[in-house]
């Protein structure tokens, strides 16, 4: 199972040749792809009307991992660590990273600059 970051889905929406996307490459190697509820929200609010049907079909095929109390506890730890080392990242990325860590799922992202700051997070690039 691989958790997809929003950046992977945004690239998929933007590129005409879907075979040249990280999503396509990952889908060839992994049968189970998922997103966090935070990613579902991010894509949902940033989605163009022209992509609505595409997003609906795609999201129906992805498992959505909820952000729950256990994820919150992990997110607090990540936030505290990043703040203490002056390496803060976007809050949404903290929440997505916390979801991956809590559920012990590697995360696929095009935003390695931020996610590599989260200790023990396994990144798929």
Distance CA 35, CA 37 (A): 7
Total-model pTM: 0.92
pLDDT tens readout for residues 36-77: 999 999 998 887 777 788 888 999 999 999 999 999 999 999
CATH of domain 2-124: 3.40.50.1010
- Alpha-helix runs per DSSP H in 36-90: 37-46, 52-61, 69-84
pLDDT value of position 5? 96
**Residue 104 pLDDT > 80:** yes
Mapped onto helix, strand or coil, the DSSP state of residue 21 is coil
Residue 58, CB half-sphere, CA atoms under 13 Å: how many? 21
- Name, in order, each residue with C-beta under 8 angstroms of 106's C-beta and a sequence gap of 6 or more: 2, 3, 100, 122, 123, 124
Q: 44-48, 69-73, 113-117, 119-123: lowest mean pLDDT where?
A: 44-48
User: Where are the domains positioned within the chain?
Assistant: 2-124
Q: What does the pLDDT average to over 15-29?
A: 95
Give the CA distances from residue 68 to residues 3, 65, 115, in Å, rounded to whole numbers and listed in that order. Answer: 16, 9, 20
């Amino acid at each position: 199972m691989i958790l997809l970051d929003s950046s992977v889905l945004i690239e998929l929406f933007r590129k005409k040749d879907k075979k040249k996307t990280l999503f396509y490459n990952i889908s060839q190697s992994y049968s189970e792809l998922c997103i966090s509820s935070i990613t579902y929200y991010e894509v949902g609010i940033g989605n163009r009307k022209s992509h609505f049907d595409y997003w609906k079909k795609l999201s129906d095929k992805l498992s959505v991992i909820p952000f729950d109390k256990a994820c919150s506890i992990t997110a607090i730890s990540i936030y505290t660590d990043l703040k203490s080392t002056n390496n803060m990242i976007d809050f949404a990325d903290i929440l997505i990273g916390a979801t991956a860590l809590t559920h012990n799922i590697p995360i696929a992202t095009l935003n390695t600059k931020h996610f590599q700051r989260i200790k023990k997070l396994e990144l798929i690039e």
